[in-house]
Structure 1
Amino acid sequence: MPMITTAPTGSPAPVQPAAPGSASAPAASAANNAEASGFTGSDFQTFLRMLTTQIQNQDPLNPIESSDFAVQLATFSGVEQQVRTNQLLESLNAQRAGGLDSAAGWIGKEVRTTAPVAYDGRPISLSIEPASGATSVQLVTLDALGKEVQRQTLPARAGEVAWDSRNGAGTALPNGLYSFKLVSLKGEDILHTGAVGAYARVTGAELTSKGVSLILPGGASTLESEVTALRSPA
């Protein structure tokens, strides 16, 4: 009579050994995703070692879902991006603080700027630089809104002039913020039109979204990028 052998009731089916390299497949997929995301450095290597250890010690009857690996990788990505953002902000703050330290040495000195400066009844020193070949120049005065309020004809000579707001008829402009531009002429032809630098004393400095701003008298201010010269007051 033939013998029939049966497995004990309730015994689990034999577990087939995983194919070589199958346990590391999720880790390899995570590595490929990380490379595509640009992850590098020891932090990601530590993450991979932790992920590989997790795979090796998982329950073969209840393996970790691939979606769980994707969630872990996404979480690691978010943390790393936040760390990089914090490092960038720290670097920017250090650069801005360094710029403010250097600007502190300008306080009490005069800067030449193309930004509007304050007129309080005292002459403003302007730097006149005619274009090459100019036979005459026109000094154009603009108010705080950028509107032309005065135009004067000057000799075509480079150097400083003292602007006191009075035109040829002796009419003076009121106190306020003014900027200037120079029109270089050859006969009646315009050769060049450009901003004129005006000197003003620095009374302070502050950080703004555009960089270091130098505080000038009368409510005026200028960015470092608008400064073309620095000197000690006469």
Structure 2
Amino acid sequence: MDIQPTSGSAGQTGGFAAGGAPSSGGGLINSDFETFLMMLTAQMKHQDPLNPVDSTQFATQLATFSSVEQQVRTNELLTALGAQMGALSVSQLSGWVGMIARAEMPVHFDGQPVTISTRAADLADRAELVVRDESGTEIQRLPIDPGRQELDWAGVSDSGAPLPAGIYELSVDSYAVDELIASDGVFVHARIVEARNENGRPILVMESGQEVAAGDIVGLRQAQ
């Protein structure tokens, strides 16, 4: 390795500058550190004896590289810890599989009535249950009690014909003196069939195929 002698003022190091410390992680950090020490040694050997580099600059370069090395290792440990915590969450949630979860989510209608929990705004004097299909098109409005309640949505049209099977978005529009003051989703009960980790977030899969974040589950009960 041909390294040219260093000359110039004390502000020039001629070697591995502090700003050039490698940031690659994994197994490369050890080889990079050895290369850094070789270059630092060569720099000290070939510096101008009449204008030597200040020893504090060598210490600064070494400290800077050491700091980068420690940061890389810290990031690797944090990544591993995050993956471990995610796996732990999924392991804990595995006990939820088979249970009935309560969460704000769309309704899966298969021809049978669906139990939902509704709530209107506190100041509402009337409320309507709004039904939309998968495309977001409103297909039905039903008057309901504005108080908090649990009811069965039959899934039939205004003419009494059953609606096609599929996913429906239900919400409650709250009115006060005929003015719309709020629109809230409804809570639905569904059976959990799977718990998995997705991008570090525990996800629960319902029997209908819908996916709900574990943090969005507001209630659990044993399946009948």
Q: Same fold (TM over 0.5)?
A: yes
Change (3 A) 1:69 1:151: same
Correspondence for 1:141 = 131
Report the residue type matching 1:179 in the other structure: E
Relative to the length of structure 1, the TM-score reads 0.66
- Asked if structure 1 preserves the Cα contact closer than 8 Å seen for 2:111 and 2:163, the reply is no
After superposition, give the CA deviation of every residue in 1:63-106 in whole Å (9 maximum; x if it has no partner).
Answer: 78678666644543432222011111122112211211221121
Deviation of residue 199 (structure 1)?
Answer: 0.8
Equivalent residue for 1:189, pick from 179, 183, 189: 179
Q: Distance in 1 between the 2:47 and 2:182 partners?
A: 83
Report the residue type matching 1:209 in the other structure: N
Q: Distance in 1 between the 2:93 and 2:73 partners?
A: 31
Deviation of residue 191 (structure 1)?
Answer: 3.0
Correspondence for 2:90 = 100
Q: Distance in 2 between the 1:192 and 1:214 partners?
A: 29
Change (3 A) 1:227 1:147: farther
- Asked if structure 1 preserves the Cα contact closer than 8 Å seen for 2:90 and 2:197, the reply is yes
SS state of the match for residue 77, structure 2? helix
- Asked if structure 1 preserves the Cα contact closer than 8 Å seen for 2:86 and 2:200, the reply is no
Correspondence for 1:217 = 207
Aligned length: 195
- Does 2:191 match 1:201? yes
Change (3 A) 1:226 1:179: farther
RMSD (Å) for aligned C-alpha atoms? 4.2
SS state of the match for residue 218, structure 1? coil
Report the residue type matching 2:113 in the other structure: P
Q: How does 1:153-168 map to 2 (within 5 A)?
A: 153-168=143-158
Where do 5+ consecutive residues of structure 1 fail to align? 1-25, 34-46
Q: How does 1:45-64 map to 2 (within 5 A)?
A: none
**Which moves more between the two structures, 101-110 or 167-176?**
167-176
Q: Distance in 1 between the 2:163 and 2:212 partners?
A: 22
Change (3 A) 1:114 1:75: same
**Which moves more between the two structures, 198-207 or 134-143?**
134-143
Correspondence for 1:228 = 218
Equivalent residue for 1:174, pick from 159, 164, 172: 164
Change (3 A) 1:134 1:122: same
| Percentage of matched positions with identical amino acids | 23
- Does 2:113 match 1:123? yes
- Asked if structure 2 preserves the Cα contact closer than 8 Å seen for 1:110 and 1:202, the reply is yes
Where do 5+ consecutive residues of structure 2 fail to align? 1-12, 20-32
SS state of the match for residue 180, structure 1? strand
After superposition, give the CA deviation of every residue in 1:12-47 in whole Å (9 maximum; x if it has no partner).
Answer: xxxxxxxxxxxxxx9xxx9xx9xxxxxxxxxxxxx9
* Structure of greater Rg: 1
Change (3 A) 1:213 1:59: closer
After superposition, give the CA deviation of every residue in 1:189-227 in whole Å (9 maximum; x if it has no partner).
Answer: 223211111111101111112611111122211112322
Change (3 A) 1:210 1:190: farther
Report the residue type matching 1:175 in the other structure: A
